[in-house]
Amino acid sequence: MPTYRGKLTAFDSGTYKATVRLDGSAAQTLSGIATSRAIPSAEMTTGRNVLVDTGDHNDPADMVLTAIWA
């Protein structure tokens, strides 16, 4: 399963879903990405670097945001 780096552009703490702009894709964002509950919602601020596991099908519904860093 490929993983990609990106930037967090939005986060919904109610659904724990993120919107991410993958590195190298300035104009396109992926929304509705599930986020690991091990990551505190207070850490989910716009502009932070993220790591996204794409799952087996490269479908945003299967993707999971697994890590975040400054």
Task: State the total domains in the chain.
Answer: 1
Q: Where are the beta strands (DSSP E) in 1-70?
A: 3-12, 17-22, 30-35, 49-53, 64-69
Q: Tens of pLDDT along 29-48?
A: 999 999 999 999 999 999 99
Q: Tens of pLDDT along 3-31?
A: 899 999 999 999 999 999 999 877 889 99
- Mean pLDDT within 43-62: 88
- The domain that holds 60 is classified in CATH as 2.40.50.140
Quickly state the pLDDT bin for 58 (edges 50, 70, 90): low
* Domain, as residue range, for 34: 3-69
**Confidence check: pLDDT of 60 > 90:** no
Q: 65: burial class by Cβ within 10 Å (0-12, 13-18, 19+)? A: buried
